[in-house]
Amino acid sequence: MNLNRIQLADMYHRMWLIRYFDAGARDLFMQDKLRGATHTYTGQEGVAVGACMALNRDDYVTSTHRGHGHCLAKGGDPQRMMAELLGKATGYCKGKGGSMHIADLDIGILGANGIVGGGIGVATGAAYSADARGSGQVAICFIGDGASNQGVLMEAGNMAALWKLPVIYLCEQNQYAEFSPSRPFIAVNELQDKAAGFGMPGLTVDGNDVLAVYEITQQVVERARSGGGPTFLVAKTYRIEGHTVGDPLTYRPKGEADLWKSPERDPISRFGRLLVDEFDFSDEQLDGLQQHARKDTDAAIAFGMESPEPEPADLWEDVYK
């Protein structure tokens, strides 16, 4: 494993940042200070952080409706993100887009997306562009297990395999799609088997093991970068909270989430234990990184709350008329 201590510490901090950021968004929503559907990434932090650690700054990601984790993992600014969620002029879209439209082209974040599977065509196009320009960039397309049933994957996956495009379809099998378990709606037993139909390799990783996600992503990214073509990578994980904040979760077996919140399964607890046991981190160091993430989140919330609303006169700026 080729990560140094600074990178390991950064990953741990980033996982907590995602956890706190989404807890903050959830609390603001419950207090009626934040409007619009709020989808938390809680429990899936290992996937975004492990995968994005294997990318360069100018590599691309496309995200989903559950996108805060992907954006923060790729280096998105928590302050501009929270301001956007709060509809403020200082947000990524000047307060006009909200959570599901956050993009930061300077660091390859091509956008969250309210359309399930909407990133699939975008990422494939970005990979085509990188290939045509010979830029060496790679695209990771985050999709959900529900989104793996969208027809666009058939078209884009075929094209990507045919043209050996540098794209990774990273499917987060969090076991739910909206208000239903996803498993009864998917015909194959293992999601990775879908890849055979596109003519590309299909692999599966424990998405709650951030280092395992990093290692396998690094391998398939290098393969893609050197002209070896796309991969369909499945990360098995669990959506700890509801589809959106306020979801009564009546469709979920009692006690199931508690199992995934346990230190044995929670991706942040698991990584923390590993850092102490195998990488010689101290509990104090871990605590410091966690507190740092807490402070970053508090600063993002304060920035968002104190920022001005957009001016009504700016309504028609930056939009198609």
Ligand X SMILES: Cc1ncc(C[n+]2csc(CCOP(=O)(O)OP(=O)(O)O)c2C)c(N)n1
Q: Is 195 in the site for ligand X (CB under 6 A)?
A: no
- Contact predicate 67/118, CB 8 Å: no
| CA–centroid distance for 114 within its chain | 14
Which residue, 130 or 177, is less far from Mg ion as judged by CB?
177
In the complex, the smallest distance separating the C-beta of residue 115 from ligand X, rounded to whole angstroms, is 5
* Rounded Cα gap, residues 279 and 250, in angstroms: 41
Q: Which residue pairs, CB below 8 angstroms and at least 24 apart, start in 242-246?
A: 243/39, 243/176, 243/178, 243/179, 244/37, 244/38, 244/39, 245/25, 245/26, 245/29, 245/30, 245/38, 245/39, 245/40, 246/29, 246/30
Give the SS3 label for residue 287. Answer: helix
By CB under 6 A, tell whether 115 contacts ligand X: yes
20 binds ligand X per the rule CB under 6 A: no
Question: Which pair of structure tokens corresponds to residue 150?
Answer: 């969208």
Query: Where in 132-151 is the site for ligand X (CB under 6 A)?
Result: 144-147
The size of the chain, in residues, is 321
**Partner whose footprint covers residue 115, from Mg ion, ligand X, none (CB < 5 to 8 Å by kind):** ligand X
Residue nearest to ligand X (CB): 144
Question: Among residues 130 and 195, whose Cβ is nearest to ligand X?
Answer: 195
Q: Between 87 and 146, name the residue whose CB sits nearer to ligand X.
A: 146
18 binds ligand X (CB under 6 A): no
Q: Which residues bind Mg ion (CB under 5 A)?
A: 144-146, 174, 177
Binds 66: which of Mg ion, ligand X, none (CB < 5-8 Å by kind): ligand X
What is the footprint of ligand X within residues 31-70 (CB under 6 A)? 64-66
Three-state SS at 77: coil
**Buried b / exposed e along 96-118 (16+ C-beta atoms within 10 A):** bbbbbbbbbeebbbbbbbbebbb
Q: Please choose which of Mg ion, ligand X, none residue 114 contacts, taking the beta carbon within 5 to 8 angstroms, the exact cut-off set by kind.
A: ligand X
H-run or E-run covering 143: strand 139-144
CB of 178 to Mg ion, least distance (A): 8
Residue whose tokens read 């920022």 = 307
Tokens for 206?
A: 């424990």
Which one of ligand X, Mg ion, none interacts with residue 80, CB within 5 to 8 A by kind? none
The reply on whether position 22 binds ligand X by CB under 6 A is: no
Q: How far is the CB of 31 from ligand X (least distance, A)?
A: 24
Count of residues that bind ligand X according to CB under 6 A: 17
Residues that bind ligand X (CB under 6 A): 64-66, 114-116, 144-147, 174, 176-178, 182, 239, 243
